[in-house]
Structure 1
Amino acid sequence: MSIDQTSLDEFRRALEADDYHLSVELGDESAVARIQAGPQACAECLVPKDFMRQMLSPLLGVSADRIDVHYPVDVHTLE
């Protein structure tokens, strides 16, 4: 597992521009990504979780199917 810290920081800054905040917990070949919405964010405006997993996978060095994504509001029925 190899984290691309520079790209992860850039991804965080992009989310923060829309008042989202990303935290990541890494485990053995897995990860938990939590995205919280600040007061200026649209809590329902994030991409579907599967797409978010695909974006995070190369940044975290973890297979997309091993990333558990938590959103402020779960509006997407398909994961």
Structure 2
Amino acid sequence: MTIDQAQLEQLKQTLQADDYRLDVDVQGDSADVAIVAGPDACEECLVPKPLMQSMLAPVLGVQPDSIRLTYPTDKA
């Protein structure tokens, strides 16, 4: 499967409206995704991780459980 660039850009723009940046790195059948908060980001605006993974999966062309998702609230 391939990345749906149009849907990915739309998702990035949606997150930008809440002052988040979406970083994506797809390698084969898995993906590393980081959502980075800006200074005006609203923590309550992010959906739970499993929902975000299920939203990202068809866009990135990978299975939801193969997406390693990092949220701003995750400890490094």
User: Same fold by TM-score, threshold 0.5 exceeded?
Assistant: yes
CA displacement 1:28-62 (0-9 Å, x = unmatched): 20001100000010235411110000000010000
| CA distance in structure 1 between the aligned counterparts of 2:19 and 2:42, rounded to whole angstroms | 8
Q: Structure 1 residue 54 and structure 2 residue 31: aligned?
A: no
Tell me the residue number matched to 2:18: 18
- For 1:72 and 1:45, how far apart are their aligned partners in 2? 12
Q: In 2, are the aligned partners of 1:44 and 1:73 still within 8 Å (CA)?
A: no
- Counterpart position of 1:65: 65
Question: Does the 8 A contact of 1:8 with 1:59 survive in 2?
Answer: yes
Normalised by the length of structure 1, the TM-score is 0.88
Structure 2 Cα separation of the partners of residues 31 and 68 of structure 1:
6
Q: Does 1:33 align with 2:28?
A: no
User: Aligned partners of 1:43, 1:36: CA distance in 2, in Å?
Assistant: 11
Q: Which structure features the higher share of helix residues? A: 2
Q: Runs of 5+ in structure 1 lacking a partner?
A: 75-79
**Could you tell me how far 1:22 is from its partner in structure 2?**
0.1
- Runs of 4+ aligned structure 1 residues displaced above 3 Å come to none
Give the alignment's TM-score, normalised by structure 2: 0.91
**SS of corresponding position for 1:34:** strand
Instruction: Look up the equivalent residue of 2:38 and give its one-letter code.
Output: G
SS at match of 1:31: strand
Structure 1 vs Structure 2 CA RMSD: 1.1
